[in-house]
Amino acid sequence: MKNQVKIANVIKPFKRKKIFVSSDKSLSIRCVLLSSIAVGRSKIFNLLESEDVINSLKIIKKLGVNYKKNKDYFEIYGVGIGGYDVKNNTILDAGNSGTLARCILGLLSSLDKNIKLIGDRSLSRRDFIRVIRPLNLFGVKTKSLNGKLPLEIKGTKLLRPINFYENKASAQVKTCVIFSAMNTPGITKIKAKKSRNHTELLLKYLNYPIRIKKLKSFDEIHVKGLNQIKSFDYKLPGDVSSASFFIVLTLLSKNSSLIIKNINLNPSRIGILKILNKMNAKINIVNRKKYRGELIGDIKIKSSIKLTPINCPESLNSSAIDEFLLIFLVAAKSKGVSTFRKLDELNKKESPRLNLAISFLKMIGIKVIKKKDIIKIYGNSELKLNKSYHIQKFLKDHRIFMMSVIAALTLGGKWKINDKDSIKTSFPNFLEIVKKLGAKIN
């Protein structure tokens, strides 16, 4: 099959290799959206050219924002807050991107036009009630299919500031509310459980009047609306979510070592590094530096012979939410029982990832018990596969495809893995990098 890869051999040892991975997707989408409402020309270097980001560019184009691709950067000609120019009954297609779909709604809140937001099959299954509720509080009218896409939205020039408690640790919901608050006169107050804070850091860098008070389990955020932001230049670092596949590839491969260069190490994103180090992984950060409020550095990894199980702290869930498929794979190869709690949010991603991860682990011979919100994974440090496996039914989820490739390259067996094209949403050159490290993939 054209859209399938075949793997029949584990990867050979690789040492002292250095790689760059794709640019940070969360930051790429936010840079596109914020530059569209900045005043003047912004330059975004190293913009991730994945389907999710390309769909972001297509959407701002439909909203009257011009952009130009140059050799190594994109120029985006922002129209200022409230400057979008869009026809009534415009349809915006977010493709597979929950980040894009939820965040753009906040920027549409002051548009007194009927706009329909659609997405692909996977995105259309996901919950939008969590952003519909705050938008309605602002005064935005919405109509949806039981809280799912397609979603019709009609904004208003008479937005009112709100007090909002974000209790799901969702950076997408938080950003939607912040973006809507930027279109609203007065001060909107947000109490948000800890989650990714790229939006806040970008607005701080852009000198937007946003005030953040960090407390133990949540942040208090005050946003003063109707203030313009100036155009900006931004050079995007690598994505720690993309780097994570190569971290685990190295950990589970024999006699291997790797350096992954120039990675965004935002504390709200590196839960996987903290979790894996608790499992006796050999991961170090070098060449740390600050850029536009974000912490950047290189990640050094060595093979780990004796991985230990973990009783995973719930406090690390939100900062590792996109990486738990890989963490489960490491748990499967550790000696002992690992315990995880309150991860049902994984079933609200591009696919029901938690359910599929459990099925995957059972398929490769790992005992897994799930009771209510507790998951126990019974690891086997001697795990070696020699059967044939076919991964085919996972709603074209890019992370499940890439995790399956890592499993095949480290555990053995003969694999057929469908939907290779799914990586275009987040990491188009994933297979190219894997092959450069010596993997044989047909």
- pLDDT at position 1 is 67
Nearest Cα neighbor of 311 from 341, 291, 346, 282 is 341
Is-contact 307 281, C-beta < 8 A? yes
Q: Please report which helix (H) or strand (E) contains residue 290, including its range.
A: strand 282-291
Question: Which amino acid makes up residue 84?
Answer: Y
Q: For the chain, what percent of residues have pLDDT higher than 90? A: 93
83: in domain: yes
Length of the chain: 442
- pLDDT band of residue 409 (cuts 50, 70, 90) is very high
Range of the domain at 223: 25-235
- On average, the pLDDT of the chain sits at 96
* 198 plus 268 within the same structural domain: no
Assign residue 214 the CATH number of its domain: 3.65.10.10
79: in domain: yes
Q: Could you say which DSSP state residue 109 is in?
A: T
- pLDDT at position 217 is 86
Q: Does the structure show a pLDDT above 80 at 132?
A: yes
Extract the tokens encoding 297: 């550095």
- pLDDT band of residue 4 (cuts 50, 70, 90) is very high
Task: Report the distance separating Cα 12 and Cα 253, nearest Å.
Answer: 8
Extract the tokens encoding 348: 């609200």
Q: Domain ends where: 206, 235, 264? A: 235
pTM (2 decimals)? 0.95
Q: What is the mean pLDDT of residues 168-196?
A: 96
* 290 plus 381 within the same structural domain: yes
Q: What is the mean pLDDT of residues 416-421?
A: 94
Task: Report the distance separating Cα 387 and Cα 372, nearest Å.
Answer: 32
Number of helices and strands in the chain (H, E): 12, 23
Task: Report the distance separating Cα 398 and Cα 161, nearest Å.
Answer: 38
Output 353 or 92, whichever has higher pLDDT. Answer: 92
* 334 plus 228 within the same structural domain: no
**What's the number of domains the chain is made of?**
2
Q: Does the structure show a pLDDT above 90 at 393?
A: no
* 230 plus 248 within the same structural domain: no
Our CA angle for 325, 329, 332, nearest 5°, is 135
- Find the distance separating the first CA and the last CA of the chain, reported in whole Å: 11
Is-contact 442 409, C-beta < 8 A? no
* 267 plus 385 within the same structural domain: yes
Q: Does the structure show a pLDDT above 80 at 394?
A: no
Q: Does the structure show a pLDDT above 80 at 396?
A: no
Nearest Cα neighbor of 223 from 149, 163, 166, 170 is 163
- pLDDT at position 348 is 79
The radius of gyration of the chain from alpha carbons, rounded to an integer in Å, stands at 22
322: in domain: yes
Residues 6+ away with beta carbon under 8 Å from 369: 375, 376, 378
Extract the tokens encoding 341: 């709690």
* 260 plus 225 within the same structural domain: no
Q: What is the mean pLDDT of residues 176-203?
A: 97
292: in domain: yes
Alpha carbon 364 to its chain's center:
27
Q: What is the mean pLDDT of residues 62-86?
A: 97
Nearest Cα neighbor of 375 from 310, 293, 326, 424 is 310
Tokens 């691709």 correspond to 69
Q: Does the structure show a pLDDT above 80 at 350?
A: no
Q: What is the mean pLDDT of residues 177-204?
A: 97
Q: Domain ends where: 189, 207, 235? A: 235
* 313 plus 295 within the same structural domain: yes
- pLDDT at position 216 is 87
441: in domain: no
Task: Identify the three-state secondary structure at position 130.
Answer: helix
Our CA angle for 96, 99, 103, nearest 5°, is 125
80: in domain: yes
Q: Does the structure show a pLDDT above 70 at 319?
A: yes
* 290 plus 342 within the same structural domain: yes
Q: Does the structure show a pLDDT above 90 at 108?
A: yes
Chain segment 248-274, per-residue pLDDT in tens: 999 999 999 999 999 999 999 999 999
Chain segment 34-55, per-residue pLDDT in tens: 999 999 999 999 999 999 999 9
Chain segment 208-246, per-residue pLDDT in tens: 999 999 998 899 999 999 999 999 999 999 999 999 999
Task: Identify the three-state secondary structure at position 387.
Answer: strand
Annotation says 219 is catalytic:
no
Annotated active-site residue in 219, 322, 397, 419: 322
